[in-house]
Chain A
Amino acid sequence: MPEQAQLLPGTLDLLILRAVALGPLHGYGILLRIGQISGNALLIEQGALYPGLFRLVRQGLLKTNSGTSENNRRAKFYELTATGRKRLREETANWNRLAAAIASALSVRPEEV
């Protein structure tokens, strides 16, 4: 297993939104998808996913439908709402700005100052 990084606070919500944007998923599926899209580089406590999910549902960014999973089990499927899609766009732009700024700040060499 590659070395895993701790999540920054607040970034789990963004990852959930991103994972769900690729198609409706149930809880465990979201966890797997995040692992997949991040190349398993992030350390996520499994249980920590659910408070985030419930919060996003309450904020109206996600909506749920019940369905049957690929294992033939009944499960709740999460899906982005229109607000959720908009929020994902904004947060992604935000994150990119932030990441770029931090990256450029950290890559500065003494002669460039």
Chain B
Amino acid sequence: MNFLDSLHLRFAALFQRSQMNAEIEDELRSHIEHRADDLERSGVDHAEALRRARIEFGGSERFREECHEALGGNLIDSLLQDLRLAFRLLRKSPGFGFAAVFTLALAIGANAVVFGIMDGLILRPLNVPHPQSLYGTEYGDYSGFQSYPNYVDLRDRNRSFEDLAAFNFVFVGLDTGNNPSLATGYATSGNYFDVLRLQPYLGRFFHSSDEHGRNSAPYVVLAYGYWHSRFQDDRGVLGREIQFDKHPYTVIGVAPPDFRGTVLFISPDFFMPIVNEEQVGPENVLDARGNMHGVFETFGHLKPGVTAAQAIADVNAVGASLEKTYPKEVSHKASTLSRQGLTSFSGAARAFVAGLMLLAGLILLAACANLGSLFGAHAADRAREVALRLALGSSRQRILRQLLTEAMLISLAGGTLGVMGSVALLRRLSMWQPFSGAPVHIPVSPDAKIYVVALVLAVVSGFLFGIVPVRQVLRANPYEIVKAGPTGKVGHRLTVRDALLVVQIAICAVLVTSSMVAVRGLLRSLHSNFGFEPRNAMLVGANLTMAGYSADKVPAMQKRMINAMETIPGIERVGFVNNYPPLVYASGSRANVFKDETTDLRQSNIAAMPYRYEVSPGYFDAAATALLAGRTFTWHDDKSAPPVAVVNRDLAVKLFGSVTDSVGAYYRMQDGTRVQVVGVVENGKYLSVTEDQQPAMFLSALQSPSSAAYLVVRSRRDPQELGAAIRGKMRELDAGLPVTIDTWNSLLSVVLFPSRVATASLGVLGMMGAMLSITGIFGMAAYSVSKRLRELGIRVALGAPRAEVLQAALGRAFKLLAFGSAAGLFMGILASRVLAFIVYQATPRDPLVLTGVVLAMALLGLIATWIPAQRALAVDPMILLHEE
């Protein structure tokens, strides 16, 4: 028979199933009738003859199946049969089906979301041509900052990159002629778009050839999203003049829609040439070699044939020679290459994703343990049915195939549900803007990769745990099981199921412990001492450059602003701080300071690198920063007075040994200026709440004025109402000045963002763990109760007290729960050490956390065993004794 014939037969067999069955039935019946005829002839009566003929024939079910197979129609056919049976069985035990699907959906969903985040943050390169050869330069400490002159030297002297581009963030007041607003953009080197090999969506890009020195290229390229939202896709915007901080710029192009800048988290509104940055940003960006905040990141394509290692050596060589040439300004740190898009965040992002993966893996493990015990219990419940089928001649292979079909069905359902949930969540995540006013987004987009990963996970875990009961089936002795009934042995042997349950509970306890530790840590960090009091304080941000004030008019205007605030009723104190207050937007700059006796001001002689703030008189009062010694600033500490500083306790101790010794003492700045310390304030947090204690110095804002400042306004009034009053006053002062008004607490959310996200994810995972342990314990308890219903009935009939019945029914479940929780708590405490890196003040040695975990696990146990316990207590001995 050739192949086509066989194929034809197989299909025919599939579609002619009923005909085939009829054929088999006819043959078997014919055989039995003939045999019965023979028996009748030997003197047996008709009915008895038929009966004997059937017995002699043997297990007809098995022969039927073998005939089916012999006819070649069995594979797909029996699969359909298995599926139908699986559906029927699941409908018969909906509890098992629901628990298994739900467990799997949770685990697959969690893992798909984490994979989606990892895909978005780490696996996916930037949306530009040839991202494989695109590298950023960064230092070993993950920062990509450069000074602009260093960048220019690096660009011109390196031999590894085809070309190097650079960019920096700029924040401008944008005026299109009607309403001034704030916008975030990149100030980029002229070659930026050429290095990225991008083509404009509309108009043209700027190029290196447009750069002719300082402020020579007043051009702007709009990001597609901003063009869409702010300019309503108006093609006529090309050639139009708009104002950045009152300086005219010409719109020359629109960037392509799928290009959202070269930092994954932060999509800019526009791109402008970096040679014009001084018009909208701090002065001296282009010249100051020591200003390491001139460039956020540099990057380029490696030349063909140049390896990453060669390029790193090359970049380091340039850095070393710069350090030699400019010892005062440059201290070279070891450079490496980085993948574009995450520089400066990659360490944190990787650690975060790794942590999430670990936790999601734990969830999957717990879910698998759960599934394993569920499947085991399910198979044990069906032991009698399986035994009957075996006795009737069904092959073990066929029964196993049926079990696996059921497992597949559950894993596909669970996987599908999980994927749907995770896709919905990822969509939400990609739309989410965590900070109003900051163009931050999470670059995740669910795609085919995620579906595949989730489905593979689902099928593999379903398959693995569908196999758990296989041993049970293979060893089953149909005769014994049918004879003994479904009670089976209720021995005190530790079974695989028990072990799985303990493992699962332990994992869940780890998750619950970690989430409690994290929540507790977050709560504490919200109420810890920052060195200022964020409650009842508003921050009013105003950059006078955006309204066109020249440097000489800035101090007077800032004083007018303070005076205006003081006239608003309910405002107790007002002061201002240049640039950003502590802990706002994780932004702060450091300065090099030297001891007074140091004369050679080279980098190696630096005494400390404190954070540097310039503050007005009244700032410390408004911020509620405690003064430990000396005095704060007055309006007389201006340019005509000798330079003075207030230092925090940490810097005082570093420079002078003690707080009292430091008042009246002197130290030196990088430019050689001697500064006298007039006061010492308490220590605080400056860049992040998790930082170690850092030194800080406060200079008088009157002695080093800056046009960008935040007013700190202390008042107990309702922030909404107060905000409106402040906005009104500011408009009276200058209607063209864009201001931001927020509570200090709300701006803290940016620095607390990592620990918030960590806490939220841990909270969700902890909840999942809790739910998983409920289904696990419930499954186990319900199973053990139903298994021993008859025994419990006898106990009740013999007059056992309720407590004893419960003890008999659920003692084991509780023992396992206690054992698992203890193990989990212990591991959770170990795991929480890791947490301390992300969540400030996360400590597991907290009696509240410990009792919380114990209580939570006990409560979970109670919830999960409630229904089985009710069932055990409500047992009616009469009914049970009637049964069977």
Q: Show the binding face of A for B, using Cβ within 8 Å.
A: 26-29, 31, 45-55, 58-60, 69, 71, 73-76
Note all chain B residues with C-beta closer than 8 A to A60: 1
Question: In the complex, which of the residues B30, B35, B67 contacts A54, with contact meaning CB atoms closer than 8 Å?
Answer: B67
Query: Is the pair A46, B58 in contact by a Cβ cutoff of 8 Å?
Result: yes
A51-B70 contact, Cβ under 8 Å, with A26-B34, A69-B34: yes
Question: In the complex, which of the residues A46, A54, A75 contacts B70, with contact meaning CB atoms closer than 8 Å?
Answer: A54
Q: Show the binding face of B for A, using Cβ within 8 Å.
A: 1, 9, 24, 26-28, 30-31, 33-35, 37, 56-60, 62-63, 66-67, 69-72
Q: Nearest A residue to B60 by beta-carbon distance?
A: A47
Question: In the complex, which of the residues B1, B31, B66, B70 contacts A28, with contact meaning CB atoms closer than 8 Å?
Answer: B31
Question: In the complex, which of the residues A59, A71, A73 contacts B1, with contact meaning CB atoms closer than 8 Å?
Answer: A59
A73-B33 contact, Cβ under 8 Å, with A54-B67, A58-B9: yes
Question: In the bound complex, what is the Cα–Cα distance between A51 and B33 (angstroms)?
Answer: 18
Question: In the bound complex, what is the Cα–Cα distance between A47 and B62 (angstroms)?
Answer: 9
Note all chain A residues with C-beta closer than 8 A to B67: 50-51, 54
Question: In the bound complex, what is the Cα–Cα distance between A110 and B56 (angstroms)?
Answer: 45
Can you list 14 A-B contacts with CB-CB less than 8 angstroms, sorted by A residue number?
A: A27-B30, A27-B34, A29-B34, A31-B31, A46-B58, A47-B58, A48-B58, A50-B63, A54-B67, A59-B1, A69-B34, A71-B34, A73-B30, A73-B33
Note all chain B residues with C-beta closer than 8 A to A58: 1, 9, 70-72
Query: Is the pair A47, B28 in contact by a Cβ cutoff of 8 Å?
Result: yes
Question: In the bound complex, what is the Cα–Cα distance between A9 and B819 (angstroms)?
Answer: 54
Question: In the bound complex, what is the Cα–Cα distance between A51 and B74 (angstroms)?
Answer: 13
Question: In the bound complex, what is the Cα–Cα distance between A28 and B29 (angstroms)?
Answer: 10
Query: Is the pair A51, B9 in contact by a Cβ cutoff of 8 Å?
Result: no
Extra inter-chain contacts (4) besides given A26-B34, A47-B57, A58-B71, CB under 8 Å: A50-B31, A51-B70, A69-B34, A75-B30
Most buried by A among B30, B56, B59: B30
Query: Is the pair B71, A71 in contact by a Cβ cutoff of 8 Å?
Result: no
Query: Is the pair A51, B56 in contact by a Cβ cutoff of 8 Å?
Result: no
Question: In the complex, which of the residues A50, A52, A53, A75 contacts B34, with contact meaning CB atoms closer than 8 Å?
Answer: A75
Query: Is the pair A50, B35 in contact by a Cβ cutoff of 8 Å?
Result: no
Q: Nearest A residue to B393 by beta-carbon distance?
A: A47
Q: Nearest B residue to A49 by beta-carbon distance?
A: B31
Ranked nearest first, the 8 interchain pairs of A and B with the lowest CB-CB distance are A28-B34, A47-B63, A51-B66, A54-B70, A55-B70, A51-B70, A47-B58, A71-B37
Query: Is the pair A50, B24 in contact by a Cβ cutoff of 8 Å?
Result: yes
Query: Is the pair A76, B26 in contact by a Cβ cutoff of 8 Å?
Result: yes
Question: In the bound complex, what is the Cα–Cα distance between A60 and B9 (angstroms)?
Answer: 12
Note all chain A residues with C-beta closer than 8 A to B56: 46
Question: In the bound complex, what is the Cα–Cα distance between A85 and B62 (angstroms)?
Answer: 30
Question: In the bound complex, what is the Cα–Cα distance between A61 and B317 (angstroms)?
Answer: 84
Query: Is the pair B71, A54 in contact by a Cβ cutoff of 8 Å?
Result: yes
Q: Nearest A residue to B6 by beta-carbon distance?
A: A58
A48-B34 contact, Cβ under 8 Å, with A58-B70, A59-B1: no
Query: Is the pair A51, B30 in contact by a Cβ cutoff of 8 Å?
Result: no
Question: In the bound complex, what is the Cα–Cα distance between A85 and B236 (angstroms)?
Answer: 91
Note all chain B residues with C-beta closer than 8 A to A52: 70
Question: In the bound complex, what is the Cα–Cα distance between A19 and B1 (angstroms)?
Answer: 23
A45-B34 contact, Cβ under 8 Å, with A50-B24, A50-B63, A60-B1: no
Question: In the bound complex, what is the Cα–Cα distance between A45 and B59 (angstroms)?
Answer: 10
Q: Nearest B residue to A71 by beta-carbon distance?
A: B37
Q: Nearest B residue to A75 by beta-carbon distance?
A: B30
